[in-house]
A = this chain, B = another copy of it.
Amino acid sequence: MARRYDTVSFLSDYGHADEFVGVVHSVIRSIAPHVVVVDIVHDLAPFDVRAASLALSRAVQYVAPGIVLAVVDPGVGTDRKAIAAEVGEDGEGVLIGPDNGLLAPAAQLSGGVTRAVELTNPDYQLVAPGPTFAGRDVFAPAAAHLANGVPITELGPEIDPFGLRPGLIPLSRTEGDAIVAEVLWVDRYGNCQLNVDPDDVAAFGEVVGVRVGDAARRSARRVDTFGDLSTGQVGLLVDSYGLVAVTVDRASAAEILHLEAGSELRLEAVD
């Protein structure tokens, strides 16, 4: 059997306090020792499919060719499907995980699903005493066997490649001249990524009004880089993923403006 993939990029909400991540690595290494597992992120909030889907969407364009294994799975053991979905030409890449909205946005960014199967074949799963650790018993073995060259259709019956459960990526909207935006992500430094394209705020000029809830309107300066801000000044920046982010140089915009993932805020002209 000819080896097919040599990288598994792995994202989960397993955290680092338990041995979950290590056991998944171990299962893959035991079945497919040639594979390198690249950890994308594991300290996502438990069960937060939305945050995981966004993190995967941000990362997916950078992952090495091969398999993406993504496990945030509040419905483990229910009838949510465990799937493997090929993307790109001739199965260039494969996304593996629960079909709960986690994979669909990344699949779309990778050009769409060309073939998908439900992971039901017990020959390519570990025998499990309980149903709760699908990452170890179902998903990791699937990734490893695919890497070894097992045809994807061996893992279970084909399902509709257009039928993946869609992810819920919130869109911003306009109200009069204002943009009502949502914080997609607060990163470690407190930068708040918005669901706003840089072009959308261009008309507001150099200084943009920012309202969060009932708090007084603050002024944010549109800048190219953190260093263009004076201390404590709020800025709007095109971030490293091409979206508008609220930022404060060397301080946490999230703390200063009381923002978190999912917060709504209004951007408007200052006259």
Contact = CB atoms under 8 A, between A and B. Distances in A.
Contacts of A204: none
Interface string A214-243: 000000000011110000000001111110
Interface residues of A, number: 68
B226 A64 contact: no
A192 to B, nearest CB: 13
Interface string A114-152: 000000000000001111110011000000000000000
A38 to B, nearest CB: 5
A113 interface: no
A224 B77 contact: yes
A25 B29 CA distance: 17
Contacts of A41: 16-19, 21-22
Number of copies of chain A assembled together: 3
A59 interface: yes
Nearest to A126: B62
Contacts of A187: 18, 20
28 contacts: A6-B33, A9-B22, A11-B19, A13-B188, A15-B43, A15-B188, A16-B42, A18-B55, A19-B40, A19-B59, A20-B187, A23-B62, A26-B38, A26-B62, A30-B65, A46-B188, A47-B250, A74-B250, A77-B224, A77-B226, A78-B226, A128-B240, A129-B242, A131-B224, A131-B225, A132-B191, A132-B237, A137-B240
